[in-house]
Amino acid sequence: MMTAINIFVEPQYRPDLCCVRDPSRPTLTGVFLDPSGWLVAADGFVLVACPCRIEGAPEGWQGAIVPALLFSKAQAVKARNLWQTKPLLTIEGTLVCADIGDGMRAQMSLIEGRFPAWRTFIPSGEQNDDSDAHLAVDVRKAVTMHRALGLGHGAVLRLIASPNKGPVYAFGPSDDKAFGLIMPLMWNLGTMKQRVAAIVAELKQEAKNA
């Protein structure tokens, strides 16, 4: 008999809002169910991670990528007050199914492929990066990330250091709550500091050659 894996998710979490719609990047069009108990979504500029409860996963299970559309429809069901006892998603083999309201149950295939190693993008430590506190942020993406994490009005973006992508803004993170990372616009545009340095070097070279 095929083992059923049940995923329990708090109703305020909407990581599907941060998935891409680009079919050329299929693994980012869905929500990754990390076997350690996280729902993860990313679009190359924003990363969100929300806690979940996974039951029935066999030993060695590597996780799965659920289509964002199914996740969205399942979380939109109004009667979500029973989330602790009723799973949002059930995975059997290569299929995932969910209640989508009005007594209907939908089923879709899991997305094939390997989700990026998302933990490598999480800053180590919580040190603020005050030197670049002027960096701008895409407001639309920040608002979407705020909604995806189900945060209240008191949430504040903090600028922190990232090991491999320059500074990032973050809601959170904490050990057991949802958190999100968003790259500042200046770094999204190709690391503005490096561009400026290259332009300055080029101008200096032109001055020498004049």
Residue 42 to residue 31: CA distance in whole angstroms: 8
For 15-24, how does the pLDDT look when each residue is reduced to its tens digit (9 = 90+)? Answer: 999 999 988 9
Residue 179's domain comprises: 122-209
Q: Is the pLDDT of residue 154 over 90?
A: no
Say if residue 15 is in the same domain as residue 101: yes
Residue 92 to residue 4: CA distance in whole angstroms: 5
Residue 138 to residue 45: CA distance in whole angstroms: 10
Higher pLDDT, 37 or 147: 37
Comparing C-alpha atoms, which of 200, 121, 123 is closest to residue 160? Answer: 123
For 81-107, how does the pLDDT look when each residue is reduced to its tens digit (9 = 90+)? Answer: 677 788 999 999 999 999 988 888 999
166 part of a folded domain: yes
Q: Is the pLDDT of residue 173 over 70?
A: no
63 part of a folded domain: yes
Q: Can you give the pLDDT at residue 122?
A: 76
Q: Kindly state the average pLDDT of the residues 72-83.
A: 78
Residues 192, 186: contact at Cβ < 8 Å? yes
Confidence of residue 189 (pLDDT cuts 50, 70, 90): very low
Give the DSSP letter string of 39-94: EEEE-SSEEEEEE-EEESPPTT---EEEEHHHHHHHHT-S--TTTTTS-SEEEETT
193 part of a folded domain: yes
Residues 33, 54: contact at Cβ < 8 Å? yes
Say if residue 140 is in the same domain as residue 76: no
Say if residue 21 is in the same domain as residue 98: yes
**165: phi then psi, degrees, rounded to nearest 5:** -130, 20
Residue 63 to residue 113: CA distance in whole angstroms: 11
What is the tally of structural domains in the chain? 2
Say if residue 126 is in the same domain as residue 183: yes
Q: Can you give the pLDDT at residue 130?
A: 47
Say if residue 105 is in the same domain as residue 127: no
Say if residue 141 is in the same domain as residue 66: no
For the chain, report the end-to-end CA distance as a whole number of angstroms.
79
Q: Can you give the pLDDT at residue 144?
A: 86
Residue 31: CATH number of its domain: 3.10.150.10
115 part of a folded domain: no
Mean pLDDT of all residues belonging to the chain: 80
| Residue 5, C-beta contacts closer than 8 angstroms, at least 6 positions apart | 54, 55, 56, 57, 58, 61, 64, 90, 91, 92
DSSP 108: E
Range from 63-72, 115-124, 201-210 carrying the lowest mean pLDDT: 201-210
Say if residue 86 is in the same domain as residue 146: no
Say if residue 74 is in the same domain as residue 42: yes
Higher pLDDT, 181 or 170: 181
